[in-house]
Amino acid sequence: MKSLSRSCEIPKHIAVIMDGNRRWAKQRGLPGIAGHYAGAKRIRSLVQDCAALGVSYLTVFAFSTENWKRPAAEVSLLLSLLRRYLKVDAEDLARQGVRIKIIGDQTRFDARTQQLIQQAQEATQSNRGITLTIAVNYGGRWDFVQAARAWQQANPHQCVSALTESELSGYLSMAFAPPPQLLIRTGGESRLSNFMLWQLAQSELVFFDCLWPDFSEADLYEAIERSGTSGVHQPIMRTENLAA
């Protein structure tokens, strides 16, 4: 098994764009939702791997504002999977001491989903282990807008010209955590897809060709090792996925 070099610095915060679930299922002749189930299962393993390394914050991009454009049946299945994760997986993570945070515009979700989001956060708010943040119905541009509106609401008598970067950052969705030192994206794409645009300004970016359900502990170690050198890193190729 691959291990990290002793001189390797463990990031305090890792962010992940989990891309490739549908392609993973298609390669295996399975319906797309099977890929999303496999991807959700991989999150649990990643949380454990990161916690074992001493990572304090893990943020995953689960559902973007653009995902609403997908077929209605797929969106419905994704939301059903989210509810299952918040009810079943969140309980298991809570027992492991994981703190769960949800970011994104929750107003578009049904009452049951909003209730499960609130319950998962309240049930784990006192936990002192790794903080798992799940971004759902989230977009970086939305985050800018909601932060500016929140600042204006808190400062109704101030002109927007008085707003500073430091003040605005306090109203962003991820104000409770430091910026990620490392972003990992799977699936062969080399772009941010409107994810944490403010927070990732100075992050190391490591891209993998492998599809998200295939992302392994060894891949995590490799990403951390590669993030020790400055810059945007070319995709790490996995030839078995090139036919996707």
Take residue 36 and report the two structure tokens written for it: 């999303």
Among 178, 188, 228, residue whose Cα is nearest residue 17:
188
Q: 67 catalytic, yes or no?
A: yes
From 19, 89, 209, 219, the catalytic residue: 19
d(CA 199, CA 172): 9
Give me the catalytic one of 21, 49, 67, 137. Answer: 67
Which residues neighbour 7 within 8 Å (Cβ) at sequence distance 6 or greater?
none
Strand order of the β-sheet with 182-185 is 99-103, 131-138, 57-64, 13-17, 182-185, 204-208, 232-236
Q: Which residues are catalytic?
A: 19, 67
